[in-house]
Chain A
């Protein structure tokens, strides 16, 4: 009986415990459910959601720039931002000492930044530190971490962080700087190709929500790099042109200069040398080199009075309209009156009876003013507009000037302008405009569009650029006739522009510079535009020098400089002498 009573007692205890445990469990579960659904829980969930996924912008790697032979002109390199995460910082003194010593920073300033972060969680100490400069600091950081770990302690350099980023690098430094432009630290292309093709080079940034929770790994969106650009520039020819230009400035005492080499059939710019040139890796020195933005690339941005090289175009218009032929004669008495204003030759003397070749050979202002009046102002200005003056050529470089061509009807146009414009006075052009206009003479009457973009590579595919001609201002016959006339005139005067073995056509230009409204005959800009070989033009060169002091004449300065550049061009472009080329063509 007693045993039975005890068993019943145990049974009740068991039932009680068995009942109590589920009640306890249910209470726990109920409490969990209550907490999970409380208003506080919702706020915690919201907080967690805001940290669980962050919106990140993935910036494409900026596209590279190559020359026509695949030499890298602009690429990217890693630079670091060095900073300290204050929440992980242990020893401000050690950090300030190490960072300032390795990166050449001021210790006290660095230390104060770390001591007084003004609420910042992350304090940047140095930006754009190169890989080479940061290597010793990284080594110190690693060694300190290893030493501390060996003693089961935290590193005194805890909190130091290195954030890598890509920055622009120009392996050739100053070479072709006027063409390339630069990419500044505001992530913006400035001047040249960097500005003109900024959107293509930059690519399209992609924004995406990225989970921080590793349990929710998501694909990082594929961000295509910016387009890679291949330029028409020939690096070796560019270097040769820059070297010759620098030497010419020294030899002739000129202030500045420009040399442009273009393929007259395609409009591809092979070289474009200007002075001064900026080391693109130190673009922040821009202000030390240039006062005005047009000085960065005067080949496209500077406008000036071209002088006698313009006579080639006046003659082209005269021939094309039929106003003159090569054999037309003109009795030069040393002056001509146009619009009641006396126009004289460059030497103020009469040259007597001349045919049109003689007019070009002796660069007679009076004769060319007569040609422009003979064809009439409508014809003359119509042709000058067809040659593209007064509007940009459309070259794919930032900052091109349209120049200025006054035409009848403009408030500042006078009848005398018809005479003076004929020999390049009273008209404002840029070197690239001159090159484009004269390309019609070299290229069978078709005027090319100058450009520097050869092709672009995007997503692994290369697309090469082919541009249509800008127009056909003169006929093929006129172009051939004028080429012959210019070539003969150079040969007749035994010009210093001649290149042994190659038949060259071209024209000099000496333009007095207007000072306070009057032309100063002691200050000139000199130029030469020429191309060759005449029967199959492969290069076209424009040379321009500002205020040469050794001689004010283009014949003594620009012409020999042209010959020097042309000599280098035929070597670097593998253009054989005419005799060899014709022998190969007609064995």
Chain B
């Protein structure tokens, strides 16, 4: 009996050891929470930066489209009938008279049937962004919990 009591005393944790374990566990929890918070902050800040960049790019795209339209119209004005006629006259050209035109047979010449303004490749649509790139961590957890396959019933994580 005495031996058994001695053994129990020998293997019982010292009180300070128990306290230290509790403190360690608590600190571990705090550390985990801090890591998750840091991760969350990092992801959300990056998402915010990217989101702002996307907004800026969208404005840039609109501006470039306006510039394109401007330049196309300006070019057309420079090549307009009146402008080209004035340039031609200034360079010493004049409209040809009927008697001055000579028609020649050019073998293999195929006359153009009309202008083609079709572009060779289809216009690229906006790329489809997967939700992983737009969701915050909380969004992801919220969606997971609200999805039929998620939550308590468990299931495959998205």
Contact = CB atoms under 8 A, between A and B. Distances in A.
- Residue from B51, B70, B72, B129 having most chain A Cβ neighbours under 10 A: B70
Contact-residue size bin, chain A (C-beta under 8 Å from the other chain): 35 or more
Contact of B66 (A66, A164, A464): A164
Contact of A222 (B74, B77, B96, B126): B126
A310 to B, nearest CB: 31
B98 A66 contact: no
Contact of B73 (A77, A218, A224, A460): A77
A570 B98 contact: yes
B98 A214 contact: no
Contacts of A459: 122-123
Interface stretch (A68-76, A251-259, A406-414, A546-554): A68-76
A61 B73 contact: no
A219 interface: yes
Nearest to A221: B126
A577 B100 CA distance: 12
Contacts of B16: none
Contact-residue size bin, chain B (C-beta under 8 Å from the other chain): 35 or more
A150 interface: no
A70 B119 CA distance: 14
Interface string B55-80: 10010001101110110111111011
Interface in A454-509: 454-455, 457, 459-462, 464, 500-501
Contacts of B67: 78
B81 interface: yes
Interface stretch (B1-9, B30-38, B109-117, B149-157): B109-117
A221 B103 CA distance: 54
Contacts of B128: 219
Interface stretch (A120-128, A167-175, A284-292, A425-433): A167-175
Given A78-B66, A216-B134, A217-B50, A501 B98 contact: yes
A220 B58 contact: yes
Given A571-B96, A571-B101, A460 B81 contact: no
Contacts of A580: 103
Contact of B44 (A173, A215, A221, A235): A215
A137 interface: no
Given A215-B47, A571-B101, A457 B117 contact: yes
B12 interface: no
A218 B131 CA distance: 10
B125 interface: yes
B30 to A, nearest CB: 12
A571 B99 CA distance: 10
A28 interface: no
A57 B122 CA distance: 24
- Residue from B52, B63, B116 having most chain A Cβ neighbours under 10 A: B116
Contacts of B134: 216-218
A460 B123 CA distance: 7
Contact of B52 (A77, A175, A214, A462): A214
B55 A214 contact: yes
A174 B62 CA distance: 30
Contacts of B75: 72
Interface string A187-208: 0000000000000000000000
A576 interface: yes
A216 B69 contact: no
Contacts of A173: 80, 82
Given A219-B128, A236-B81, A460-B118, A75 B73 contact: yes
Contacts of B122: 459-460
A72 B73 CA distance: 8
A576 B103 contact: yes
Nearest to B65: A61
A239 B81 contact: yes
A218 B127 CA distance: 11
A171 B76 contact: yes
A460 B119 contact: yes
Contacts of B126: 219-222
Contacts of A460: 118-119, 121-123
A363 interface: no
A222 B65 CA distance: 13
A127 to B, nearest CB: 16
Contacts of A576: 103
A32 interface: no
A215 B118 contact: no
B76 A72 contact: yes
9 contacts: A164-B66, A171-B73, A213-B51, A215-B136, A224-B123, A460-B119, A462-B118, A570-B98, A577-B103
Listed from nearest, the 5 A-B pairs whose CB atoms lie closest are: A214-B51, A217-B51, A72-B76, A171-B76, A462-B118
Interface of B: 44, 47-52, 54-55, 58, 62-63, 65-67, 69-70, 72-77, 79-82, 85, 95-96, 98, 101, 103, 105, 111, 114-119, 121-123, 125-126, 128-129, 134, 136
Interface of A: 61, 64, 66, 68-72, 75-78, 131, 164, 166, 169, 171-173, 175, 213-222, 224, 228, 230, 235-236, 239, 454-455, 457, 459-462, 464, 500-501, 567, 570-571, 574, 576-577, 580, 584
Given A68-B115, A571-B95, 16 more contacts: A66-B115, A77-B69, A78-B70, A171-B77, A171-B79, A172-B81, A217-B54, A230-B114, A239-B85, A457-B118, A459-B122, A567-B98, A571-B101, A574-B111, A577-B103, A580-B103
